[in-house]
Structure 1
Amino acid sequence: MRRVLCPVENLYVAQRSRAVLSCALDGPVDSAALSAAFEAVTAEQPQLLTRIVPDGDGHALELLPEAQRPRLRTRTGGEEAYGEEFNTPLTVGGPLTRAVLVSDPDKERHIVVLSIDHVITDGHSGIALLNTLWDRYRELMGDTLAPRTPVAELPEPISTLLPQSDAAETAKYLEQRVENVGCHPVELVAYDVKATEDAPEEPHRIEVRRLLLDTEPTAGLRERARAEGVSVHALISAALLLAARRRMDGTDPRVLGCVSPVDLRSRLSPPVPATLMVAAVTMRLQTLPVGEDTDVLELAREVGDGMRDFLDRGDHFREMRIMPSVPRHPTLHLGTVIVTNMGAVSGPRLPEGLRLTDVRLTPAREHYFPQTGRSPIMACVTTFDGRLAIEFPHHTACFSRPFMRELGDEVQASLLALAKSD
C-alpha cells in the first residue's frame, strides 16, 4: 500500500509539524485493553501505519514493516511526561503516530499522549482519533467490540477533492496575493531571548504556556460574542493581536497579520468526516493596522467580517490551490499571530470508574529558527466540554518563560473582561 503525497502534503513534510493530544485520567486503566484499542483504530486508519519515504522530487506514504508499526507504549511517571513527549519528534521515515500511557506508581493517575504527524492529520481528525481510541477501549472493557474490516486503501489528499477551477484564475489569484503581501508587509514580535555564545544553564526546549477558562467565563465569552455579532475566534484573535502590538515599540498603528487555519471538511461536497485522518485545512491571512489604543471589539469585528468575506468569495479553495507556491512566496501565510480554533467539542467518553480530568490539543514543530530574531506567536484554541483553553507553544531559545507567561496573562485578562456581563 503506497500513495504519493500531493504538493500541499509535501509542505508538511518539510515543516515537521504534528498534533499532540493528551488526556489526564483518574482511576484504573487496563493497559492491555488500551493497547488492543490502539491497534484496532490504526487498523481502521491505515495511514496511521505508514511512514514517509522519498518519491522523485517529493515523498510518498508507504506501510511500515510489521515490526516497526506503532504500538502503545507504557511507562511510569507524572505530569513531566507531557513535556517529554512534546519534545520527542516524529522523524521522517519512522512511524507517523505515537501513543504513550503514563501512569503514576500507584496506577491511579494517568496521562495518555498521542502524537500524530501533520501530514496525515489536522486538529479535527486528531480529536476524533483520541475519542475513537476511548470508544474502542470502552467497547473492549464491555466485551462489545464489533469486528471491523480493515481499510484497504489510503485516502486521497484533500487537494484532489476541491471543486473544479480554471488554471488562469488560480494564477491571477496568486499574483494578486503576492502583490498584496508585498504592499502590506506585516510586523513580527521580536524574541526576548538573545543569542549568546555562552552555554545556556539548561538545554533549550519546546514548552507550552496554557490559558484555561472555566465553564462560567467560557459561557460568558460566548454570550458576549453573540451579543456583539462576532465569533469567539474573532474576540480571541483581537485580544492576541493587541497583546502582540503592545510588545512592539512606538505608539502609531502597525500592520499586523492574523493567520487562521480554515477547516475544509464541512465545505467540501460531499463533506469529509472528522474521523478520516487527513490534513484538511487551508490558511487565511488578514492584515490589519493595530495601535496600542485600538478597541478590542472593533478589531474583532474587522477580523470576523474579513473571515466571512473570505469564505463567501470561495477564497478558502483558492488558498488551498496556491499553497504549493508558499515556498517561493513565504509571506503568503506569514502572520504576527497564528490562531487556530477547533470550536466547541466533546472529550472522550470513558467506562464507569474512570474519570477524565483534562484534555489538551497542542501543535508542535521541530524548527523554531531562533536566529531569525522574531516570529509569529502561535495560539491553539480548543473548548473541551465547555472549558476554553489556549495553548501557546514556544521554544525557550526564542521566547522566555516570563515573556510567554505575561503574554498569556494579558490575553486571559482581556477575555475575562469581555466575558463579564455589562
Structure 2
Amino acid sequence: MRRVLCPVENLYVAQRSRAVLSCALDGPVDTAALSAAFEAVTAEQPTLLARVVPDGDGHALELLPETEQPRLRIRTGGEEDYAKELNRPLTVGGPLTRAVLVSDPDEERHTLVLTVDHVITDGHSAIALLNTLWDRYRERIGGAPALSPPAAGLPGPISRLLPQVDEAETAKFLEARVEEAGRHPVELVEYDVRTPGEASGSIEVQRLLLDTETTSRLRQRARAEGLSVHGLIGAALLLAARRRLDGTGSRILRCMSPVDLRSRLSPPVPADVMVAAVTAHFQDLAVAEDTDVLELARQVAGGLRDFFDRGDHFEAMRIMPMVPQHPTLHLGTVIVTNMGAVSGPRLPTGTHVTDVRLVPAREHYFPQAGRSPLMACVASFDGRLAIEFPHHTACFSRPFMRELRDEVLAALCALADSDEERHLAATA
C-alpha cells in the first residue's frame, strides 16, 4: 500500500515536526490490554503503520513491514521521562508514531506519551487518536472482543478535497499575500541566549494551566465582550511580545493562527482520520505597550472571522506549496494554535486521568538565527484551559519563558475578573 504525498504534505517532511500528547494516570493499568488496544488503533488507521519514503522529487507514504510496525513500549521511570520523550525525534524512514507507557516502581502512577509525525496529523486528529486508544482499552477491560476492522487504505490528502477554484484567483491571492508581507516585514523576538549550537540545549515547555472556575469566567468575559477566547489569548501574547521589543510606540506585529479545515469541507472530514488538515491565518496589527487588550482582541477575532467569511482559508492552503519561494509568508511574531474545548480520555473505573497535554515539537531549532516567533499551544481539556509555551533552551532561557508565561497568566486572570484568591488558584 502506497500513496504519494501532495505538495502541502511534502512541506511537513522537511520540517520534521511532531505532536506530542501525554496523559498522566493514577491507578492500575493492564499493559497487555493497552498494548492490544494500540495495535487495534493502528490497524484501524493504516496511516499509523506507514513511513515516509522518497518518490521522485517528493515523498510517499508506504506501509511498514510487519516486523517494523510500532508497538507500545513499556518501561519504569518518573516525571523526567516526559522530557526525554519530548526531545526524542521520530526515526527518519521509520514509524510515524511512537507510544510509550512510563510507570513508577509501584505501578500506580503512569504517563502515556504518544508522538505522531506532523505529516499525518494535526491537533484534532492527535487528540482523537489518544481518546480512541483509551476507548479501545476500556472495551478490552470490559470484555469486548479484540477485533479490528481491516485497513481501508491510506486516506487522501486534504488538499484534494478543497472546492474547485479558478487558478487565476489563487495567483491573485498569493500576489496579495506577498505584497502584504513585504509591506510589513515581520518583527521577531530576539533570543536571550547566546550559544554556539543546538547541542547545549533541549526542548522545554513553560505551562499555564487555569482551574475550571477561572476558565469558565474567562469564557464568560469573552462572550460578554462579543469575543472569542482565542482573540483574548492572541492579544495577551501580542502585548507580551511587544514588551520584549525595543523602541517606543506602535510596532506592526504579526499573529499566526493555525486553523482547522476538517469541519469546513463538504462533507466534513472526521477528526479521527489521520491526515494534516490545517492551514493558517496571518494578521498584521499595530501594537504598543499600552494598547488596550480588549481592542486588540477584537482585531484578532474580527480578522479571523473575515478570513473565513471570504473563503480565504481554502486559498491559504492552495498557496502553501509556494512558501519555499516566499518563506516570510509563514512567519509570525506570535503563533497561537487553539484546539478549543475538548474532552479527555475516558478510563475504566478505578483508573483516573490526572492531566492531559498536547505539545508541538520539531527536530531542528536554529539558535544561530538570533530570533524567532513565540509559540503558544492552547487547549481546554475537560474545562481547564492550558497554554503550552514550547521553546529550545539554546534560544530562549527558562527565566525568559517563565516571565512570558506569567505575564500572559496575569492578563488572562485580569480578563476573567479574578480577585486575588482566584488568581492564586490559577496554576502554572
Alignment TM class, shorter chain as reference: over 0.9
Is 1:305 equivalent to 2:302 in the alignment?
Answer: yes
Matched, 1:238 2:238: no
Query: The residue matched to 1:340 in structure 2 has which SS?
Result: strand
Q: Is the 8 A contact 1:189 1:248 kept in 2?
A: yes
Q: Counterparts of 1:273-352 in structure 2 under 5 Å?
A: 273-352=270-349
> Relative to 1, partners in 2 of residues 1:13 and 1:45: Cα closer, same or farther, differing over 3 Å?
same
Counterpart residue number, 1:361: 358
Q: Residues of 2 paired with 1:412 and 1:421: CA distance?
A: 11
Aligned position for 1:43: 43
| Partner Cα separation in structure 1 for residue 46 and residue 109 of structure 2 | 31
**TM-score, normalising length from structure 2?**
0.96
Match of 1:253 in 2: 250
* Count of aligned pairs: 419
- Distance, in Å, in 2 between the alignment partners of 1:284 and 1:144 is 44
Q: How many angstroms does 1:250 deviate by?
A: 1.4
Letter of the aligned partner of 2:371 in structure 1?
Answer: R
User: How far is 1:91 from its partner?
Assistant: 2.6
Contact 1:136–1:145, Cα closer than 8 Å, also in 2: no
Partner of 1:161 in structure 2? 161
Question: How far does the alpha carbon of each residue in 1:107-151 deviate from its partner, in whole angstroms, 9 at most, with x for none?
Answer: 000000000000000000000000000000000001124633222
State the match for 1:78 in structure 2: 78
Deviation at 1:12, TM superposition (A): 0.3
Shift in Å at residue 196 of structure 1?
4.7
Where does 1:33-182 land on structure 2 (aligned, <5 Å)? 33-145=33-145, 147-182=147-182
Distance, in Å, in 1 between the alignment partners of 2:384 and 2:36 is 30
Out of 391, 409, 412, the position equivalent to 2:409 is 412
Deviation at 1:420? 1.3
Q: Deviations over 1:138-193 (max 9, x none)?
A: 00001124633222310000000000011111111101110110011120000000
Which deviations, in whole Å up to 9, do the C-alpha atoms of 1:227-250 show, x marking residues without a partner? 011100000000000000000111
Q: CA deviation at 1:368?
A: 1.4
Q: Is the 8 A contact 1:5 1:157 kept in 2?
A: yes
CA distance in structure 1 between the partners assigned to 2:255 and 2:56 by the alignment: 35
In 1, the alpha carbon distance for the partners of 2:91 and 2:283 equals 33
Amino acid at match of 1:352: T
Match in the other structure for 1:10:
10
Matched, 1:394 2:382: no
Counterpart CA distance in 2 for 1:383 and 1:70 is 29
Question: For 1:121 and 1:35, how far apart are their aligned partners in 2?
Answer: 21
- Contact kept? 1:104, 1:110, Cα under 8 Å: yes
Letter in 2 for 1:357: T
- The TM-score normalised by the length of structure 1 is 0.98
Of 142-151 and 352-361, the range deviating more from structure 2? 142-151
Extract structure 1 runs of 4+ deviating beyond 4 A. Answer: none
CA distance in 2, matches of 1:173, 1:142: 53
**How far off is 1:421 after superposition?**
6.2
**How far apart are the structure 1 equivalents of 2:393 and 2:96?**
26
Q: Given the alignment of the two structures, is residue 24 of structure 1 paired with residue 21 of structure 2, yes or no?
A: no
**How large is the RMSD of aligned CA atoms in angstroms?**
1.2
- 2:400 maps to 1:403: yes
Maintained 8 Å contact 1:284/1:333: no
Structure 2 residue identity aligned to 1:5: L
Aligned-residue offset at 1:223: 0.3
Q: What do the CA deviations read for 1:315-345 (whole angstroms, capped 9, x no partner)?
A: 0000000000011101112100000000000
Q: Does 1:223 align with 2:233?
A: no
Q: Is the 8 Å Cα contact of residues 53 and 92 (structure 1) preserved in structure 2?
A: no
SS at 1:229 equivalent = coil
Q: CA contact under 8 A between 2:78 and 2:103: conserved in structure 1?
A: yes
Amino acid corresponding to residue 94 of structure 2 in structure 1: G
Answer yes or no: is the 8 Å Cα contact 1:192–1:403 preserved in 2.
yes
* Structure-2 separation of matches of 1:327 and 1:142: 50
Distance between the aligned counterparts of 1:101 and 1:143, measured in 2? 22
Question: What is the alpha-carbon distance in structure 2 between the residues aligned to residue 222 and residue 191 of structure 1?
Answer: 33
C-alpha distance in structure 1 between counterparts of 2:217 and 2:85, whole Å: 34
Runs of 5+ consecutive residues of structure 1 not aligned to the other structure: none
Correspondence 1:205 to 2:202: yes
Contact 1:243 1:407 in 2 (8 A): yes
Gaps of 5+ in 2: 420-428
Q: Distance in 2 between matches of 1:272 and 1:155?
A: 10
User: In structure 2, how many angstroms separate the alpha carbons of the residues matched to 1:183 and 1:204?
Assistant: 35
For 1:41 and 1:123, the matched residues in 2 are separated by 17
8 Å contact from structure 1 (residues 338, 378) kept in 2: yes
Amino acid at match of 2:191: Y
Q: Could you give the per-residue CA deviations for residues 202-236 of structure 1, whole angstroms, max 9, x where no partner exists? A: 93101111010000100010000000111000000
Identity %: 78
1:380 pairs with 2:377: yes
Return the offset for 1:288: 0.5
Verify the 8 A CA contact 1:38 1:72 in the aligned structure 2: yes
- SS of equivalent to 1:382: strand
